[in-house]
Each structure stands twice: as C-alpha cells, then as structure tokens.
Amino acid sequence: MSEASRQLDARGLRCPMPLLKLKQALHAMAPGEDIRVLTSDPGSVRDFQAFLRQAGHQLLEQSEGEAEFSFLVRKKPEA
C-alpha cells in the first residue's frame, strides 16, 4: 500500500456521505496531493470511480479488505 499525505476515514458512513466527504477533502487539498480513503459502504466503489473519472482526479489504488474498501486518490493537477 502506498503512502498518502492525507487520510479520510469514512467507515460507517452510508452513501452518499463517503463521496461528499471525499469531495470536501479534495477541495482543501493542493493539486497533485494524495489522499487515502477508507469506507465500509460497497456503493463507494461505483460512486468513487464515476466521480473521479468525471472530475479528472486519479485513482491510484483500490483494494478491498474484510468489510472495508481503500482508495488512494491523487487530486488532478491545476489546468
């Protein structure tokens, strides 16, 4: 697992809260900065992939553990 400069623990939150928390965190981050997000909501997989593709951020890693999902996201560089 790669390191990230930020962590977001969204475990226990139901859709759409993990995605909203990620959007808030990305807004506060510098371009090119990485964040690791942990969720327990299986819907996060679909939600995060669609949002990141649409918004232009990069999904660097995605893994699934026991009742937990991990995402490593890089905020898109400035245009």
Judge whether 37 lies within some domain. Answer: yes
- Is 41 among the catalytic positions? no
Judge whether 47 lies within some domain. Answer: yes
Judge whether 1 lies within some domain. Answer: no
Judge whether 43 lies within some domain. Answer: yes
> What is the Rg, in whole angstroms, of the alpha carbon atoms belonging to the chain?
11
Asked if 76 and 56 count as a contact pair (C-beta separation under 8 A), the reply is yes
Judge whether 67 lies within some domain. Answer: yes
**Can you give the pTM of this predicted structure?**
0.92
Instruction: Read off the pLDDT of residues 10-62 as tens digits, 9 standing for 90 and up.
Output: 999 999 999 999 999 999 999 999 999 999 999 999 999 999 999 999 999 99
Judge whether 58 lies within some domain. Answer: yes
Total domains present in the chain: 1
Asked if 76 and 55 count as a contact pair (C-beta separation under 8 A), the reply is yes
Domain coverage including residue 26: 6-74
Of the residues 11, 13, 15, 43, which is catalytic? 15
CATH number at residue 13: 3.30.110.40
Distance CA 40, CA 70 (A): 9
